[in-house]
Amino acid sequence: MGWLADETGLEKCAANYVPLSPLSHLRRAAEVFAHRTAVVWKDTRLSYADYARRVSRLASALTDAGIAPGDVVATLMPNIPQQAEAHFGVPACGAVLNTINTRLDADTVAYIFGHAGAKILLCDSALLGLAEAAIARMEGEAPLIVEVVDHGFTASGHYETYEDFLAKGDPDAAWIMPEDEWESIAINYTSGTTGRPKGVVTHHRGAYLATTANAIGWRMQLFPVYLTIVPLFHCNGWCHAWMVPMMGGTLVCCRDITAKAIYDAIADEGVTHFGGAPIVLNTMINCRPEDRRDFSHIVQVFTAGAPPPAATLAAFEPLGFNVTQVYGLTETYGPATECLWQEEWDHAQGDDRASLKARTGIAMAMLEGAEVQDTHGTPVPRDGAHLGEIAMRGNMVMKGYYKNPTATAEAFKGGWFRTGDIAFQHPDGYLKITDRAKDIIISGGENVSSVEVEGALMHHPAVSLCAVVAKPDAKWGEVPCAFVELKAGATATEAELIAHCRARLAGFATPKMVVFSELPKTSTGKIQKFELRAVAKLLGQ
């Protein structure tokens, strides 16, 4: 980056300008909070001094193994300390971090290996089979595997272990900080429900600003205890692993996401914050009584992935939680809008309070803009009725899609990032998602919001989880079809649920069919509606 003089003749220099990077959070924490607990997992307790030394070892070992700045290092790991270390250690040697979804099929992982060009793969022992199957199918040079052996697992004996790899590194090695904050810090691949996934490339500046935006949005104070419910491979855990050292907090790892594990972490480790999809909230609401633990503090929760039904929020918060809905995409480093609570809403109770909390929200502090636009890129009226597409712009938007200039240009058309999510805006500027563009159901010429129908279903006491998609219909073109999971021990009939919805919705928006089944979900708790659409299409024949 060249040093530019402004209108005063004064220039940027090393004294007054340093490129932003979340690496600086851990570097500072290692000095300021050296003896505070940084990472917790079972009997592992890392201080910030220990954490930083292990990150230095990883960065040094990667460099010694031939990793050069700009190279890609991939991970296949659950939420364990080594995944958090990789978030700092990989960029600390100048490389680009590629955290891969652990629930992908081997063919997709093979594509990601080849497309991103990873040189080294840090792989959990339980996922070696997936990695090996992917390598067998991939084109190009295969990554070198370093095996990460977690508690309770035994090394396969086929690969160098992570601890042996770290032992070769220098605990005092200097980190390679970015010379330009536009340098890439990570590449994350979208879920790719249609076609191949796209590689979302993010930069140091955006990741740094996302950490600050999340802390501000959460009204976070020093020394939070954060539980890793959001997979660290998903938008880099919403940038929360990078955020926690900024606050001198403790990162509590959670490998298997269960209600018992979450309640235990809250009760035993004093967890104060976590993020998760609405399905996580439902899991905690409907868990077995013996899995629940008492705790005396309020836990702050970010929820995203799908608009949370008001009924879910109303049932969850009295258990000891304060929920803030956030919204974003891989392309926006995770959360980019938040349903910021306003003081004038304090009087709201029950369903009114839950409905306010179910709003999608306003732009987070470090995002330059978030609005609803029509097909011409013009903002729609803020009247709580006109629909359009959510568009965003600012430093918390990706660099672009890797090796895909056409998709990048389409996403950035008109100088805004087009999200593909349909919403309206209230007069106060708060967004409210009604659907993904592909999820709108057009029945007899009327637009039906699947989110609205799902919200009505979730008010039924027997419903644990639901999803609504379009089913082809000879008369109406398409009609709503509901897929429902019932709570353990609960019963309900199709006719009962349809009547329940009819009392709350217009006739054309009422489901015409209810299918009782377990819903297909991604590892982050999102319901895979594309699978349900395929089933509904068969049901409509």
Summarised one tens digit per residue, pLDDT across range 144-154 is 999 999 999 99
Taking the alpha carbons of 16, 20, 24, 25 in that order, is the dihedral positive or negative? Answer: positive
Share of the chain above pLDDT 70, in %: 96
Name the more confident of 530 and 84: 84
Residue 181 near residue 203 (C-beta atoms within 8 A): yes
Residue 430 near residue 440 (C-beta atoms within 8 A): no
From the candidate CATH numbers 3.30.300.30, 3.40.109.10, 3.10.620.30, 3.40.50.2300, the one assigned to the domain spanning 440-539? 3.30.300.30
Separation in Å, CA 230 to CA 56, 301, 343, 405, 535: 25, 11, 29, 30, 29
Q: What is the pLDDT of residue 355?
A: 84
pLDDT classification of 33: cutoffs 50, 70, 90: very high
257-436 matches 49-204 in CATH topology: yes
CATH tag, 257-436? 3.40.50.12780
pLDDT at 527 over 90: no
Q: What is the pLDDT of residue 505?
A: 86
Residue 361 near residue 304 (C-beta atoms within 8 A): no
Could you read off the pLDDT of 272-312 as tens digits, one per residue? Answer: 999 998 888 989 999 999 999 999 999 999 998 766 777 88
Q: What is the pLDDT of residue 1?
A: 45
Computed over every residue of the chain, the mean pLDDT equals 93
Neighbouring residues of 310: CB distance < 8 A, sequence distance ≥ 6: 351, 354, 355, 357, 358, 455, 458, 459
Share of the chain above pLDDT 90, in %: 77
pLDDT at 195 over 90: no
Q: What is the pLDDT of residue 377?
A: 94
Instruction: Give the pLDDT mean for 110-124.
Output: 97
Q: What is the pLDDT of residue 312?
A: 84
Angle between helices 81-92 and 48-64 (to 10 degrees): 60
| 469 CB-side CA count, 13 A | 22
CATH tag, 49-204? 3.40.50.980
30 closest CA partner among 9, 53, 10, 7: 53
Neighbouring residues of 8: CB distance < 8 A, sequence distance ≥ 6: none
Q: What is the pLDDT of residue 9?
A: 85
Q: What is the pLDDT of residue 191?
A: 65
pLDDT at 104 over 70: yes
327 closest CA partner among 351, 349, 357: 357
- Structure tokens that stand for 103 in this block: 């629930």
Name the more confident of 474 and 59: 59
Residue 5 near residue 11 (C-beta atoms within 8 A): yes
pLDDT at 193 over 50: no
Q: What is the pLDDT of residue 504?
A: 87
pLDDT classification of 432: cutoffs 50, 70, 90: very high
pLDDT classification of 350: cutoffs 50, 70, 90: confident
| Structural domain spans, the chain | 49-204, 257-436, 440-539
Q: Which of 164-173, 287-296, 506-515 has the lowest mean pLDDT?
A: 506-515
pLDDT at 194 over 60: no
| Local structure of 372: helix, strand or coil | strand
pLDDT at 206 over 90: yes
